[in-house]
């Protein structure tokens, strides 16, 4: 009895998880797979989406774009003729540094859930807080650019641990950097043993086909899964 009571109190305290579960239930009812997409500022989230959102075979993609303010990334993606919804966090004090479940819930009515199979939620650029707040996603993907240095998994372990896939971006710059890719991958395994990873360059297109296929396979595996 006592343990049960404690558990209930803890859950009651975590309003974010309660709302995230409600979001996820709504996404599942609509048959939409949801990716929470995260990285540091400038790692290349939007560029990596530009390369794939319009042409994943058999998968209709929508994007929920999170930014402190402005709609620059949303405008870039909307020009590809995919539905994009902008969510700005600046009504908070100086701008919230992450999306939370309640912000995503406030955007639900604006999302064309009946017209998409995959919703990518592009989070605010930040390696700390976005990993702490579930928003109703099925899966979490992060981007780490090789220009950020190989120490990042050790400095931001929660983010690397929270994600199911690590996209290592800007590999076209490897020859111009003092960056030890093997050390980076070793560091990823230190905080998240066996985490799936993919090497790519949004600029040259290297690895993009594998990223596109990964998203397509994700949606098909969930559509085929028992409800």
Residue ranges that bind a second copy, judged by CB under 8 A: 40-42, 67-70, 72, 93-97, 124-129, 131-132, 145, 147-149, 151-152, 154-158, 170, 172-173, 176-178, 203
Q: How far is the CB of 203 from a second copy (least distance, A)?
A: 7
Q: How far is the CB of 177 from a second copy (least distance, A)?
A: 8
User: Edge to edge, what strands does the sheet with 165-169 contain?
Assistant: 84-88, 61-67, 118-122, 33-39, 139-145, 165-169, 196-199
Q: Which residue number, 18 or 147, has a Cβ lying nearer to a second copy?
A: 147
Q: How far is the CB of 45 from a second copy (least distance, A)?
A: 11
Q: How far is the CB of 156 from a second copy (least distance, A)?
A: 6
Q: Which residue number, 152 or 215, has a Cβ lying nearer to a second copy?
A: 152
Q: Which of 64, 75, 70, 78 is nearest to 23 (CA)?
A: 64
Nearest 10 degrees: CA dihedral of 89, 95, 154, 196? Answer: 10
- Quote the CA–CA distance of 118 and 121 in Å, as a whole number: 10
Q: Which residue number, 33 or 88, has a Cβ lying nearer to a second copy?
A: 88
Say if CB 188 and CB 197 are below 8 A apart.
yes
- Give the phi and the psi of residue 130 in degrees, each rounded to 5: -55, -30
Q: Which residue number, 109 or 175, has a Cβ lying nearer to a second copy?
A: 175
Q: How many CB atoms lie within 10 A of CB 227?
A: 5
Place of tokens 């979490």: 140
Q: How far is the CB of 42 from a second copy (least distance, A)?
A: 3
Q: Which residue number, 37 or 156, has a Cβ lying nearer to a second copy?
A: 156
Start-to-end CA span in the chain (Å): 32
Based on its alpha-carbon atoms, the radius of gyration of the chain, rounded to whole angstroms, reads 18
Q: Which residue number, 15 or 25, has a Cβ lying nearer to a second copy?
A: 15
Q: How far is the CB of 159 from a second copy (least distance, A)?
A: 9
């Amino acid at each position: 009895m006592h343990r049960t009571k404690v558990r209930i109190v803890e859950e009651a305290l975590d309003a974010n998880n309660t709302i995230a579960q409600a979001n996820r239930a709504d996404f599942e009812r609509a048959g939409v797979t949801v990716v929470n997409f995260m990285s540091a500022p400038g790692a290349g989230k939007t560029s990596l989406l530009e390369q794939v959102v319009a042409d994943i075979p058999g998968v209709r993609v929508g994007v929920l774009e999170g930014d402190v303010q402005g709609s620059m990334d949303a405008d870039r993606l909307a020009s590809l003729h995919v539905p994009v919804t902008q969510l700005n966090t600046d009504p908070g004090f100086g701008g919230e540094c992450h999306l939370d479940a309640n912000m995503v819930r406030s955007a639900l009515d604006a999302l064309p859930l009946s017209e998409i199979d995959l919703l990518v939620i592009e989070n605010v650029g930040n390696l700390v807080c976005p990993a702490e707040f579930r928003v109703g996603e099925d899966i979490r993907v992060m981007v780490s650019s090789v220009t950020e240095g190989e120490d990042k998994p050790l400095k931001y372990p929660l983010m690397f641990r929270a994600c199911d896939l690590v996209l290592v971006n800007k590999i076209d710059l490897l020859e111009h950097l003092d960056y030890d890719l093997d050390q980076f991958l070793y560091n990823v395994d230190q905080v998240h043993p066996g985490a799936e990873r993919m090497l790519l360059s949004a600029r040259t297109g290297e690895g993009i086909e594998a990223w596109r296929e990964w998203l397509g396979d994700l949606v098909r595996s969930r559509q085929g899964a028992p409800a």
